[in-house]
Structure 1
Amino acid sequence: MPGNRTTASWWPRKQCRMRRRKAALAAGLALGAVLTACSGPDGSTSAGGKVVLRYTWWGNPDRAARTQEAVDLFEEKHPDVDVQTSFAGYDAYKQKLATQAAGGDAPDVMQLDYRMIDQYASGGVLLDLGEQQATLKTGEFDPGLLATGKLNGKQYAVPQGRGTETVVYDPTRWKEAGLEPPADASDGGWTWDQWADAMRVLKERTGTPGGTDPGQSEDAFEVWLRGQGKSLYTETHELGFTVDDLTRWWTFTDGLRREGAVSPAEQTTQLDGTVENTPLGRGKAFSDMNWDAPASGYLALIPDGIALAPMPSGADGTPGQYFKPSMFMGIAADTGSPEQAAQLIDFMLNDREAAEILGATRGIPVNESIREELAPELKDFDKTIYAYQATLEGQLNTPPQAPPSGDSALQTTFQRDYDQVSYERMSPREAAQDYVTEAKAELRS
């Protein structure tokens, strides 16, 4: 256990890893441009006779640097394993992983989104982790969070951390515009109408849109829906909303776009899952809606720093956001090294030194003992995320079950149809009808 190490042995190792983190961070943007397969067939060995594992994830350069540092430590403790890593922005990662999975070349260990589990588990891409329960320990995980990685009673993925959505904003620009910070959820939060008014004020007083147009985001739509007492999907994997519901959402967001209160179409259509290409990241807006952990990427882009606010609630104060596993880890069903792959996941989730390195880059640690131990030691943006989540404790509703496999493709469809609205080629109702028709067909296939 790390608690048994001596200061003399720990400090040089920590200093070495700090140097590696800086080097990895410097190379992060170049690495993040493309997700590559770095090794041969699953179960292959390197020239030194080591087991080779491919491990891939999505994220920003900060997450990449910390992940690589943790992987380096894993290799120190498991000298028989060579972990070859790669990462990309979310959209590029999702597309590449789908191609690899379809071609029978899924990486040994992969990062998974909530929306990917049903798709890859039902498609035979993921290993049943119950086969590795002697190696991969989950006794310190919240049962509710752990259950979100199950399908038909089998554990196909394990959560890496707990996250939630947030309104990321530039507090300096808000203050200069004479706006008070949004209220914490524990103090009542704010409604969608109050959020919209803030976007208008920012536009009126600065000439710059207040935030990214959320109309293209299925995640934001889900929060809005839940605030109306509805859901994205039913328990039987059907749509939980109507054409009228989606028309209301897109009419609301498109109206703000027409006013100039949120980003124009030519900016919104550049979104690719990275913070660098958001209007906030490019200095073209003063807020964005994102998940709390990835928001750390804005720190390198906004000189005066950022702050986190809760997602807007329904008109009656009903919250739409929820705690969910920020992301998952899974193992390829056809990996040639399932035990070593399970060792890597167990290390990333249950090793205290790894947790110290990773911080909250993927959300607050899912291992409850580690989470409690590390809370007083968190610094910088990790501490910000922990404090933000603390304001939401007891305020949010139960998370939904993982969405059906078709949802992964429908995220792209959702954004595509809203592009037609934002470029004024279709009305909100026409686009909503198109989306609902296609969504129902996708969910039946």
Structure 2
Amino acid sequence: MSVKIKALFILMVCAMTLTVFAACSSDTETESTESNDTTDNASNESDNSTESNDEPENTGEEQVEIRFMWWGNQDRHDRTLEVIEMYEADNPNVKIDYEFLGFDDYSEKLATQAAGGNAPDVFQMVDRWLPQYTQSEVLADLQPYIDSGAINTDNIDQTGLAPGYIGDQLVGLNTGSNAFALAYNPDMFDEAGVDYPAPGDTWEDYVAKGREVQEALDLKYAIRNDVQHDRGFGVWLRQNGGWLYNDEGTTRGWDDDKLFLDYINFWLDLEVDGLVPPADVLEATGAIEDYLLVSGDVPMQVIHSNQIVAVSNAANRDFELTTLPFGASGESGQYIRASLFFSMNTNTEHPDEVVKFMDYLTNSIEAHEVFQGDRGVPISSEIRDHLYDSAERTVQQQFEYIDLISEYAGSAPPPPPPTGQEMDRFFEVVIYEVLYGLKSPEEALEDYKKGVQDIIDRN
């Protein structure tokens, strides 16, 4: 597929996503408030689903089936399937029909199912999707189940629940905390005789250290760039007093064109110098199993802190975590966010059973001994305390990193507009057009400014 056609295809998907949400929206729009990623945990895993032909054990209770869908890499799938088996063993009247996909396939399939009134009973979400799905009346309000105690919050602070609220409705149950992190291979730095990346390093320090390791070990690249993700641009903006959109979600949150141009030219210059991969390699290394850090082609790469489990498992080696490079003014630009959410379909036929399952995913010590922090540092203090001492080293790293980044992180960004998902995809299209040489940074800037405002105005 040619680059132009691929870009056009992505734009068409964006338009279709917006259309399907319009189709399932009511005339009354819910006012939104709050929080995400970048890049969240993308994977190219294939579509997988199951429906058992076995009859559930007859316990005298009503036999129910719950549809559960999520995205992730193979490690997440394996862990989640084990937890499902545990839950079904404890609840023989419940059959969980599951489906898991890679991130891109998941986002498109969920949008299509939601538009057709056929969303799963419980499904995985990210914070930037919450306003749009809430406006479309797809997400059930979980607050009544918090109030009744059906979802036990005895060991959960309100700050752990806060990211899942849109207005006064709790539409997403936070699976755990995470933040952007710089994962690096300490053995490579030791072999090259280069100091480890550390909090306070600037972007210039980051490049210099990467270049030194690349040259000393004859690596393909010094850095795996994440230029195409708007949340990466968001960190750059926060280091310079801006954000992707304003507090009200009605327009861009930055006015200085130089911020956009400096950002894209920074990465373009690194590509010219052979320090970062070209566009085609960047596109081909989006799944965790294909990360350049995993393959050993770079000494460091930006990830989400909860991904350290899957990244280490995929590479079969240990990595370390530190902060992203700081801005020239000394600002980190980083923030702690909800890793993911579990949400309930407002039209589920089995809300009580779905809530019981969501409570299990949140509060079961046995379940979290399997999850091992894959979806972030758990919001239950009881789970955190239990896990740390007995957890795998990669899980302990997540806990330690959240403590570390807390020293430098600012407050969470304002909530995205309901069209935030389309904005994410549009940014990626615009950036790839520059990376493939189809447009200049200046042309991309004008396209981005106009296109983002058009997207916001369609809300």
Unaligned runs of 5+ residues in structure 1 are: 1-29
Residues 220 and 289 in structure 1, CA contact (< 8 A), matched pair in contact too: no
2:279 pairs with 1:265:
yes
Report the equivalent of 1:156.
Answer: 171
Q: CA deviation at 1:244?
A: 2.9
Conserved? CA contact 1:110–1:331, under 8 Å: yes
TM-score (structure 2 length as normaliser): 0.83
Could you say which residue in structure 2 is the equivalent of 1:426? 439
Contact 2:312/2:319 (CA < 8 Å) preserved in 1?
yes
Q: Distance in 1 between the 2:254 and 2:308 partners?
A: 29
The answer as to 2:448 corresponding to 1:435 is yes
Does structure 1 residue 194 correspond to structure 2 residue 205? yes
Whether the 8 Å CA contact 1:59–1:87 is kept in 2: the answer is: yes
Which of 208, 213, 231 lines up with 2:220 in the alignment? 208
Whether 1:234 aligns to 2:249 is no
For 1:340 and 1:319, locate their aligned partners in 2 and report how far apart those are by CA, in whole Å.
Answer: 43
Partner of 1:254: 268
How many angstroms apart in 2 are the aligned matches of 1:335 and 1:37?
A: 19
For 2:432 and 2:212, locate their aligned partners in 1 and report how far apart those are by CA, in whole Å. Answer: 25
Question: What pairs with 1:57-72 in structure 2 (closer than 5 Å)?
Answer: 57-72=70-85
Q: Superposed, which structure 2 residues align to 1:388-427 within 5 Å? A: 388-427=401-440
Are 1:179 and 2:194 counterparts? Answer: yes
Q: Is the CA contact (8 Å cut-off) linking 2:305 and 2:398 kept in structure 1? A: yes
The counterpart of 1:137, out of the listed 152, 166, 172, is: 152
1:383 aligned to 2:407?
A: no
CA distance in 1 between partners of 2:347 and 2:141 (Å): 11
> Residue in 2 aligned with 1:224?
236
Offset of residue 390 of structure 1: 2.4
Instruction: For 2:261, give the aligned amino acid.
Output: T
1-side partners of 2:51 and 2:202: how far apart? 47
Q: In the alignment, what sits opposite 1:167?
A: 182
Q: Secondary structure at the match of 1:364?
A: coil
Distance 1:152 1:181 in 2: 43
1:364 to partner: Cα distance: 0.8
* CA-CA distance at 1:230 after TM superposition: 1.5
Asked if structure 2 preserves the Cα contact closer than 8 Å seen for 1:160 and 1:327, the reply is: yes
How many residues were matched structurally? Answer: 407
Q: Structure 1 148/303 Cα, relative in aligned 2: closer, same or farther at 3 Å?
A: closer
Whole-Å separation in 2 of the counterparts to 1:431 and 1:47: 59
Q: Structure 1's 203 and 432: CA in aligned 2 closer, same or farther, altered over 3 A?
A: farther
Contact 2:139 2:346 in 1 (8 A): yes
Q: Which amino acid aligns with 2:137?
A: G
- Contact kept, 8 Å, 1:39 with 1:52, in 2: the verdict is no
The 5-angstrom pairing of residues 30-41 of structure 1 reads 32-36=45-49
- Name the counterpart of 1:291: 304
For 2:273, give the aligned amino acid: E
Q: Which residue type is aligned with residue 401 of structure 2?
A: Y
Q: How many angstroms apart in 2 are the aligned matches of 1:444 and 1:47?
A: 53
Residue 207 of structure 1, CA deviation: 4.4
Give the Cα separation in 2 of the matches to 1:252 and 1:122. 37
Q: Distance in 2 between matches of 1:379 and 1:284?
A: 26
Q: 1:331 to 1:122 in 2, by over 3 A?
A: same
Amino acid at match of 2:72: G
How has the CA–CA distance of structure 1 residues 332 and 305 changed in structure 2, closer, same or farther, with 3 Å as cutoff?
A: same
Q: Deviations over 1:321-346 (max 9, x none)?
A: 11111001100111111111111110
Give the 3 Å change call, closer, same or farther, for CA 152–304 of structure 1 in structure 2: closer
Is the contact made by 1:126 and 1:333 (CA closer than 8 Å) also made in structure 2? Answer: yes
C-alpha distance in structure 2 between counterparts of 1:194 and 1:126, whole Å: 44
- The alpha-carbon deviation at position 35 of structure 1 amounts to 4.8
2:347 corresponds, among 310, 334, 338, to 334
- State the TM-score, normalized to the length of structure 1: 0.85
CA contact (8 A) 1:167 1:309 kept: yes
Residues 359 and 365, structure 1, Cα contact 8 Å, conserved in 2? no
Shift of 1:229: 2.0
Please point out which of 327, 340, 352 is paired with 2:365. Answer: 352
Q: CA RMSD in A?
A: 2.3
Distance 1:271 1:279, change over 3 A: same
Note the C-alpha offset of 1:139: 4.3
After TM superposition, the structure 1 = structure 2 runs for residues 67-106 of structure 1, keeping only pairs within 5 Å, are 67-106=80-119
Relative distance call for 1:145 and 1:300 in structure 2 (3 A) is closer
C-alpha deviation, 1:160, in angstroms: 0.6
Residues 199, 262 of structure 1: 8 Å contact kept? no
